[in-house]
Amino acid sequence: MTTSYPVSSSRPFDYPRPMSALHCGKVSLEALARRYGTPLYVYSADQIVERLAMFQRALAGRDYLVCYAVKANSALAILKLLAARGAGFDIVSGGELERVLAAAPEAAGRVVFSGVGKTAAEIDLALEAGILEFNVESEPELELLARRAQKLKRKARFALRVNPDVFAETHPYISTGLREHKFGIDIRRAPAIYKSAARHRWLEAHGASVHIGSQIRSAEPFGSAIERVSRLARLLAREGIVLKAIDAGGGLGIDYHSGEFDAEAHVRGYASAIETALGDFEGRLLLEPGRFIVAQAGALLARVLHVKRNGKKTFVVVDAAMNDLIRPALYQAHHEIVPVCWRPGRERVVDVVGPVCETGDFFARDRKLAPVEPGDLLALLDAGAYGMAQSSNYNTRPRAAEALVEGGKARLIRRRETMADLLAPEMI
């Protein structure tokens, strides 16, 4: 069997000619690895901007705001890139708000604050920053928001995150739309809560929010969820509570495998399902895509340390590890793995693993891989979302560096951590 490379038009990474080195746009990944070392995350700014533009084209003609989900990849340079092109932001912590304010302070009014466990300090920070709305997940949280708003004498715009009890076919860890999940408020309770909040001077019922999960490839569950939220909005309007926004959440999935993926058609189908479900709702539509915008724009570069056999198994040991990209270990997630430089020969079935002292430290098991030797570079594709954002210092390993490629130029947007960085917060 001859070597084949699972790169496609949906990814910014490709071999410009046969038997050449993998590039991101016009930039050689081999050159980036020599310049910045490995493990190294590489992102395509051009692809990130184009994915945002897909939503903007699909929603042209209606009032909308694309609020990028910061948790997917919170690099300051990426936040600044998106803010400059009109994006808002979906945050789930005070720390993420601080990141938005550092990267693009002018975007504070385009921020929605989600998450089930907001603290008083986080709420105060968001109120003082003047964010767009709080996506409230429980009655106790709404009571806390009211108290903090009253204390600070700042009106708090809120949307109840309602739970529509819609099943989305995805990994159970990232499904969020059923009654047994920790997220949201039972949609049947929502009218009474909105009516009660209407009596509070410092609360403003600004919208309704829903989020049913992540990595969802079908548009139908999104349509079903928004249809139920639209019914809620109509019911509230009859009671004199007119919502200004419906937040459809995020969760639009990508193809992590090697097949062709028509991203534009995927967005158009998603937008069409939501538009149909909104019916005659005339307010603003908020969306919270994260993975869809950044995942396929990123790759993790790792250098091969050893190729070893253990019984019938062959292991390719690389210098990246589960602390750099935990998705395969945590979610059994699939990432295509390709050599950066072409080496002729037959594919072998191997496990691609890291140096961390855990059996779970793997990137692929029983995967067909082109021939590689110690010193070769591998690229783990579709690693732009939930890669660096979920990384850690397990085994006292410094986190990877990050580089951003824009046009034909690359720049470092996060230096590699040093041992001094890791030890600095500790005291003996």
Amino acid, single-letter form, for residue 133:
E
Residues, the chain, total? 428
Whether the CB-CB separation of 299 and 339 falls below 8 Å is answered with no
3-state secondary structure of 42: strand
Distances in whole angstroms, Cα of residue 211 to Cα of each of 66, 175, 184, 215, 307: 14, 9, 9, 12, 43
Separation CA 190–CA 183 (nearest Å): 14
Amino acid, single-letter form, for residue 143:
E
Q: What is the token pair recorded at 70?
A: 């910061």
Query: At what angle are helices 120-129 and 94-103 packed, to 10 degrees?
Result: 30
24 catalytic per annotation: no
Q: What is the token pair recorded at 155?
A: 């009106």
Q: In the chain, what is the greatest distance between 2 CA atoms, to the nearest angstrom?
A: 73
CA 318 to chain centre: 25
Strands 377-381 and 348-353: unpaired
Cis peptide before 39 (omega within 30 of 0): yes
Whether the CB-CB separation of 164 and 187 falls below 8 Å is answered with yes
Q: Within 13 Å and on the Cβ side, how many CA atoms surround 235?
A: 15
Distances in whole angstroms, Cα of residue 24 to Cα of each of 17, 93, 296: 13, 32, 11
How many CB atoms lie under 10 A from the CB of residue 423?
10
Q: What is the token pair recorded at 126?
A: 């968001």
Q: What is the token pair recorded at 304?
A: 């091969």
3-state secondary structure of 303: strand
Q: State the catalytic residues.
A: 357
